[in-house]
């Protein structure tokens, strides 16, 4: 069953890229006591994700933080090397934390999986965004297939 507003995020494994290489992220430390704007994209370096989704959150980072967001994070079913390279290429450093969900554990746990096999992409995370407050989903915005509206930084800003 798809995660819903008011539910606690399941503890899953994310990996981030550091100067020393891939590092596991402590789920509890990342979400506990913080308000996180988390968004998911089907894949790093893909057209909509690279042209609109990630850049929107980078551009609106200060506005989101002014509305009480402590951290902005992007997740995708990609490995940490790809997520790290995409974040650097997009200028996300210091604005958006890139969280690799390499095996799709998070996407599966929140039941927001997209089947991209007809595009050679396998199972991926759907395009969505959420505000997570102390580990609990405060707001959830899930896109319809092929859409990019409600998971944008602009839409999130209008809803928080």
What span, in angstroms and rounded, lies between the C-alpha atoms of 29 and 23?
14
Which of 75, 40, 35, 72 is closest to 57 using CA atoms?
A: 72
Neighbouring C-alpha atoms within 13 Å toward the C-beta of 70:
12
Distances (CA, A) of 57 to 77, 108, 121, 123, 129: 18, 24, 24, 24, 11
Active-site residue, from 41, 44, 49, 99: 49
Angle at 146 between CA 101 and CA 85, to 5 degrees: 35
Active site residue 49: yes
Alpha carbons 85 and 89: distance in angstroms, whole number: 6
Q: 43: Cβ–Cβ under 8 A, 6 or more apart, which residues?
A: 49, 76, 77, 78, 116, 121, 124
Eight-state DSSP code of residue 56: H
Mind telling me the catalytic residues?
Answer: 49
């Amino acid at each position: 069953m798809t995660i819903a507003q008011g539910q606690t995020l399941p503890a899953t494994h994310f990996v981030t890229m550091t100067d020393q290489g891939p590092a596991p992220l402590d789920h509890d430390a990342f979400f506990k006591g913080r308000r996180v704007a988390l968004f998911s994209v089907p894949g790093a370096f893909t057209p909509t994700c690279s042209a609109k989704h990630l850049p929107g959150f980078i551009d609106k980072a200060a506005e989101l933080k002014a509305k009480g967001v402590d951290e902005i994070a992007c997740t995708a079913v990609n490995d940490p090397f790809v997520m790290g390279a995409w974040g650097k290429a997009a200028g996300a450093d210091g604005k958006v934390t890139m969280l690799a969900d390499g095996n799709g554990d998070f996407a599966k746990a929140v039941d927001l999986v997209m089947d991209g096999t007809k595009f050679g992409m396998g199972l991926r995370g759907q395009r969505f965004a959420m505000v997570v407050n102390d580990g609990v989903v405060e707001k959830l915005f899930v896109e319809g297939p092929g859409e990019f509206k409600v998971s944008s930084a602009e839409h999130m800003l209008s809803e928080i």
